[in-house]
Homo-oligomer: A and B are copies of this chain.
Amino acid sequence: MNKRATIGDVAKLAGVSTATVSRVIHTPDLVTDSTRKAVYSAISQTNYTLNLAARNLRQQRSNAIVVLVPDIGNTFFSEILAGIERVASSAGQTILIGHTAHDHMREEKYLNNLLNSQADGALLLNGHLPASVATKIGETPGRRLPIVSVSEALADQIVPHVGIDNDRAAALVTQYLLDHGHRRIVHLRGPVSNILTCQRAKGFARTMKAAGLQVSPDMFLDGDFTIESGIAAASVLIAAGSMPDAVLCANDEMAIGLMSRLAEHGIHVPQDVSVVGFDDIAFSRTAQPALTTIHQPRAEIGERATRILLELIAGDNDASNMITTLPVELVERASVALNRGFTAT
């Protein structure tokens, strides 16, 4: 028992050929009861386990998909992952999570290493497709590379995408603030290189303009989706000396960071300033006050994306589902108040 048993060892012990052993594993129905039993017994005697590297090599496929996640610590992604896993595992696919940490090198590493031999397809939650891979997509126009972008859109729409309409979601929440009488609204953005950030900022600006409000650069604060950047943004507001009516944060982490810093300074949400977030992560419910935010159907986003990916892998090249947009929902909690002295029109 020094080395791992191979299919040959099992075959010898059971007195059959390797082909038969393989059939017992793969398609048991093709094999007689008696031989099947003999093979099973030999398998357990030898402690045989399949060598997946060999199978993958032979079958030219790995039954695994790789999921690129920019930040595992962000709870927003875990529910998407849950949806992905549900569909993938019921289709017999293993999922491999690659943590990219917003690092383009890692993205490329995971995609090159895995896509080209260890995985059959990829789900991109990171909003970035390395140039080397993008090139390859262009080169094979017939057979699309099995890649789907999820939640965060790519700069070029060259692979199918599943997500929400960020522009309209931002417009929705902006209008909600306007309806509550807020006029001086500040938008705490994500990193400007992020597509999602741009879409949300656009929806915000458009809605403000439509309400007859001037959009100026000082209505924007820059963050990077972390709690810390929310805290920093609060410090900026505090230093400025006057609070806006409301702050629209591009995600919940920043909103929570912002609120905690405001609380330290005795500034009350929503009495002194209203705050809204984006994503509806678990901690938005436990924030003080509970955070009003935009809820995304995360599990469904993951499920849909995975189904599309599986179709691509199977070769069902239905171009109809290039863009899947799922609806969002505004979750009203306690972080937005009616503006002082405002009366609904």
* Residues of chain A from 238 to 262 with CB closer than 8 A to chain B in the complex: 256-257, 259-260
* Residues of chain A from 138 to 159 with CB closer than 8 A to chain B in the complex: 139-140
A49 an interface residue at 8 Å Cβ cutoff? yes
Check B288 against A263 for contact (C-beta < 8 Å). yes
Please count how many residues in chain A sit with their CB below 8 Å of the partner chain's CB atoms: 56
Check A282 against B57 for contact (C-beta < 8 Å). no
For residue A4, which residues in chain B have a CB less than 8 angstroms away from its CB?
116
Closest to A257 in B: B286
Check B116 against A51 for contact (C-beta < 8 Å). yes
Q: Say which residue of B73, B113, B257 sits within 8 Å of A79 (CB atoms).
A: B73
For residue A49, which residues in chain B have a CB less than 8 angstroms away from its CB?
112, 116-117
Check A97 against B94 for contact (C-beta < 8 Å). no
Q: Say which residue of B52, B81, B99, B260 sits within 8 Å of A286 (CB atoms).
A: B260
A99 to B231, CA, bound (A): 31
A274 an interface residue at 8 Å Cβ cutoff? no
For residue A256, which residues in chain B have a CB less than 8 angstroms away from its CB?
283, 286
A90 to chain B, nearest CB (A): 13
Check B57 against A51 for contact (C-beta < 8 Å). yes
A235 an interface residue at 8 Å Cβ cutoff? no
- Given A47-B136, A56-B53, A117-B50, check contact A260 B288 (CB 8 Å): yes
Closest to A135 in B: B47
Closest to A261 in B: B286
A200 to B140, CA, bound (A): 57
For residue A288, which residues in chain B have a CB less than 8 angstroms away from its CB?
260, 263, 287-288
Q: Mark A312-345, 1 if CB is under 8 A from B, else 0.
A: 0000000000000000000000000000000000
A71 to B75, CA, bound (A): 10
Closest to A64 in B: B118
Q: Say which residue of B78, B89, B110, B259 sits within 8 Å of A73 (CB atoms).
A: B78
Q: Mark A151-187, 1 if CB is under 8 A from B, else 0.
A: 0000000000000000000000000000000000000
Best-buried of A47, A62, A97 by chain B (most CB within 10 Å): A97
Known: A53-B53, A85-B101, A263-B288. 20 other contacts (CB 8 A): A4-B116, A50-B117, A51-B116, A52-B116, A52-B117, A53-B56, A53-B57, A53-B117, A57-B57, A72-B72, A72-B97, A73-B79, A73-B282, A85-B99, A89-B106, A94-B113, A96-B98, A260-B287, A283-B283, A287-B288
18 contacts between A and B (CB under 8 A): A4-B116, A47-B136, A47-B139, A51-B117, A52-B116, A53-B57, A53-B117, A54-B117, A57-B57, A71-B78, A81-B99, A96-B96, A97-B99, A118-B118, A260-B286, A260-B290, A287-B288, A288-B288
Query: 7 closest Cβ contacts across the A-B interface?
Result: A73-B78, A260-B286, A288-B288, A52-B117, A97-B97, A53-B56, A53-B57
